């Protein structure tokens, strides 16, 4: 599978609830709480919402991609540290993470969703402003960020992932980058790779996705 790059842009108007977006607010079914995790000191923290992919739009761009053809796919991860937020004590590092480091949710029924806004103590949204996502196969490695689905392991300095993940592939790769209201830096301007086994991808099972940060 060739990489499908995510091209990010500032939208002219508020995006539709189920639109593909980076940052902003996740679209969740009524009754589903914002995903939380327990850190290694027993404290509860919200995952950082990375992005959501409208799978029908992705299918229209690339019909033969291995993801489900309908619904939305949402990506959350423990990347607070890479925003410069050090309140929690947990972090994805340079080895393959535990399963609870990321949360990937496939929502098939889009009929009753609402955006869930996470706010701070001053009732201000925690997430950076939403960015629209479009898909492209054209990529300039010198000028474009390496945000992509099904990335090649170009940032890996060794032949394969550690045992028992040798044949796992990159489901989503996020590059270090910054904007007016955020600065995301994975170690020394590296990347975050979310990994999935070929069998789980074939079954559309996103319950055991792992993560690793690769520094340049």
pLDDT tens by residue, 38-63: 887 888 889 999 999 999 999 999 99
pLDDT at position 143:
77
Q: Which of 61, 181, 189 is nearest to 125 (CA)?
A: 181
Mean pLDDT of the chain: 93
Predicted TM-score (pTM) of this structure: 0.95
Q: What's the rounded mean pLDDT across residues 16-39?
A: 95
pLDDT digits (tens, 9 = 90+) for 84-125: 776 656 789 999 999 999 999 999 999 999 999 998 888 888
Q: What is the pLDDT of residue 41?
A: 81
* Across 181-202, average pLDDT: 95
pLDDT category of residue 198 using cuts at 50, 70 and 90: very high
pLDDT at 86: 64
Whether pLDDT at 138 is above 80: yes
For residue 142, is pLDDT > 80?
no
The fraction of the chain above a pLDDT of 70, given in percent, is 97
Residue with the bigger pLDDT between 144 and 6: it is: 6
Question: Looking at residue 119, what is its pLDDT?
Answer: 87
Q: What is the homologous superfamily of the domain 4-214 according to CATH?
A: YwqG-like (2.30.320.10)
> Residue 88: what pLDDT?
59
Tell me the mean pLDDT in the region 29-33: 93
Q: What average pLDDT does range 128-140 have in this prediction? A: 94
């Amino acid at each position: 599978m060739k990489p499908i790059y995510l091209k990010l842009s500032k939208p002219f108007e508020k995006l539709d609830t189920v639109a593909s977006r980076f940052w902003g607010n996740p679209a969740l079914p009524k009754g589903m709480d914002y995903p939380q995790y327990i850190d290694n000191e027993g404290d509860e923290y919200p995952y950082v919402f990375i992005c959501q992919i409208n799978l029908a739009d992705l299918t229209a761009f690339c019909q033969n991609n291995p993801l489900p053809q309908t619904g939305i796919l949402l990506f959350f991860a423990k990347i607070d540290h890479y925003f410069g937020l050090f309140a929690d004590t947990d972090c994805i590092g340079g080895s393959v993470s535990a399963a609870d480091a990321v949360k990937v949710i496939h929502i098939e029924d889009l009929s009753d969703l609402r955006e869930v806004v996470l706010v701070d103590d001053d009732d201000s949204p925690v997430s950076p402003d939403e960015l629209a996502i479009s898909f492209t196969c054209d990529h300039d490695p010198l000028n474009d960020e390496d945000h992509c689905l099904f990335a090649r392991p170009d940032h890996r300095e060794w032949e394969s992932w550690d045992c028992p993940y040798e044949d796992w592939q990159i489901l989503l790769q996020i590059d270090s980058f910054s904007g007016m209201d955020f600065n995301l830096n994975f170690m020394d301007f590296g990347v975050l790779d979310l990994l999935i086994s070929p069998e789980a991808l074939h079954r559309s099972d996103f319950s055991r996705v792992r993560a690793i940060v690769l520094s340049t």
